[in-house]
């Protein structure tokens, strides 16, 4: 028996140990449905620094230090270029609710057959005792693979030493079956990249300003488990993402983690795809700006000052709009002779205030978030007898605190 045959047998054996039901016949395809699933939480196959007290301190310190959330989000650009580069894509997302004292340790992406609910004992009998913790971690994160995944990735969320920034470090990935194939090019090896974005409720995954991470995972041969270099005290991992920030005002709120996975068959096509994504002028400007802010203290201080000026302007605009709206609403609720005009003035001022209030980030100290445009429309100008009462209701319920 040759060395290549031995290697293939070893790979199959390792895959069978790492994943539930790995020894199942491929055509059996157990499970309830086919999907790509993102899970965020405990690490399944990584002895992760983020699980330690020091790891959590770095992550939470970076969140506490960030005045704004910032990253270079390439999801939108990558989606646009994928078709041109003959690149297959799949997307998935997961909602998370972190707290002020803990933040998720790892991000996992699993593509393949899934159970709809936590697997019963008999469904996971192929897991060895040594990997029981790994299985439990995936289940705790709400991910229930029914067999060897078609694709698996795990990356740890790490904080910088100075506790100012975050990054994602890939630790392990595995390609079993590619997303797609072409009739004239039957090869199954793929070059893989992941694009991650963290967004607040109501935001698009492609939002340019979202905290984001891009990872070039390199070439994958089917059935081969890829493990990535660990970060050391002196060197970063060559495959980890660029630094990004996540503001404390957002980190303790509901968030959505979206992941775009891309697979390219041709190595030259993959290099072209990545180069095109990174060559976008807006992306280059963002990358250059972030590098300057990371490496040049004066630039970082200037950027922070500019952010403070911008935030001060937004808060002032919101507070000024609030004062104007309050005056107009209280004038309206007094029931003047020209009540319809008073109602129209109140509605106009309220709309301006709602727009200024919503321009502030969720969680900002000056943001109310209580009033919205639908509530403003309760002031019905076609019913003069109700206008003063509607203005009073908005004043009492949404503007003036008891």
**If you write DSSP's letter for every residue of 343-358 in order, what string do you get?**
HHHHHHHHHHHHHHHH
How many domains does the chain fold into? Answer: 2
Q: Taking the complete model, does pTM exceed 0.75, yes or no?
A: no
Regarding whether 171 and 43 lie in a shared domain, the answer is yes
Specify if 107 maps to a domain.
yes
Regarding whether 331 and 264 lie in a shared domain, the answer is no
d(CA 198, CA 171): 20
Residue 368: closest CA among 339, 326, 334, 336: 326
Regarding whether 168 and 57 lie in a shared domain, the answer is yes
d(CA 252, CA 362): 11
d(CA 326, CA 267): 62
Least confident of 14-23, 45-54, 112-121, 158-167: 14-23
Specify if 303 maps to a domain.
no
Q: Tens of pLDDT along 344-379?
A: 999 999 999 999 998 887 677 888 888 999 999 999
Tell me the residue range of the domain where 333 lies. Answer: 312-399
Regarding whether 353 and 218 lie in a shared domain, the answer is no
Domain limit, last residue, from 269, 295, 321: 295
Domain limit, last residue, from 268, 295, 322: 295
Specify if 302 maps to a domain.
no
Outline where DSSP puts E strands in 71-224. 87-96, 106-114, 151-159, 166-175, 190-199, 212-220
Regarding whether 353 and 280 lie in a shared domain, the answer is no
d(CA 260, CA 193): 8
- pLDDT score for 127: 41
- Asked if 111 and 146 count as a contact pair (C-beta separation under 8 A), the reply is no
Domain limit, last residue, from 264, 295, 326: 295
d(CA 183, CA 286): 39
Regarding whether 183 and 63 lie in a shared domain, the answer is yes
- pLDDT range class, residue 199, cuts 50, 70, 90: confident
Regarding whether 367 and 287 lie in a shared domain, the answer is no
Regarding whether 199 and 236 lie in a shared domain, the answer is yes
């Amino acid at each position: 028996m040759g060395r290549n045959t031995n290697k293939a047998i070893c790979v199959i054996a390792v895959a069978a140990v790492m994943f539930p039901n790995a020894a199942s016949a491929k055509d059996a395809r157990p499970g309830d449905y086919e999907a790509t699933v993102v899970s965020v939480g405990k690490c399944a196959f990584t002895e992760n620094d983020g699980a330690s007290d020091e790891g959590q301190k770095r992550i939470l310190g970076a969140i506490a230090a960030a005045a704004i959330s910032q990253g270079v989000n390439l999801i939108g650009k990558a989606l646009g270029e994928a078709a041109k580069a003959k690149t297959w894509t799949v997307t998935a997302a997961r909602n998370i609710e972190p707290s002020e004292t803990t933040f998720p340790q790892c991000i996992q992406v699993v593509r393949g057959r899934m159970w709809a609910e936590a697997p019963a004992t008999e469904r996971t009998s192929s897991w060895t005792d040594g990997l029981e913790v790994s299985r439990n971690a995936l289940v705790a994160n709400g991910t229930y693979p029914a067999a060897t995944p078609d694709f698996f990735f795990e990356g740890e969320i790490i904080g910088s030493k100075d506790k100012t920034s975050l990054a994602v470090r890939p630790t392990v990935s595995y390609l079993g079956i590619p997303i797609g194939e072409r009739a004239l090019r039957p090869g199954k090896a793929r070059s893989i990249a992941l694009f991650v974005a963290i967004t607040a409720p109501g935001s698009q995954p492609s939002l340019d300003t979202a905290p984001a991470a891009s990872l070039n995972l390199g070439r994958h041969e089917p059935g081969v488990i890829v493990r990535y270099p660990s970060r050391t005290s002196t060197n970063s991992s060559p495959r980890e993402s660029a630094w990004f920030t996540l503001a404390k005002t957002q980190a303790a709120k509901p968030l959505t983690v979206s992941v775009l996975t891309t697979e390219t068959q041709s190595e030259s096509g993959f290099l072209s795809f990545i180069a095109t994504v990174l060559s976008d002028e807006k992306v280059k400007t963002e990358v250059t700006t972030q590098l300057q802010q990371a490496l040049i203290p004066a630039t970082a201080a200037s950027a922070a000052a500019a952010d403070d000026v911008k935030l001060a302007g937004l808060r002032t605009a919101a507070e000024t709009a609030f004062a104007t709206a309050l005056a107009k609403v209280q004038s309206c609720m007094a029931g003047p002779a020209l009540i319809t005009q008073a109602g129209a003035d109140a509605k106009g001022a309220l709309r301006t205030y709602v727009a200024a209030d919503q321009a502030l980030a969720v969680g900002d100290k000056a943001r109310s978030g209580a009033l919205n445009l639908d509530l403003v429309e309760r002031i019905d100008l076609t019913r003069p007898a109700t206008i003063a009462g509607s203005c009073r209701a908005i004043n009492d319920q949404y503007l003036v605190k008891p």
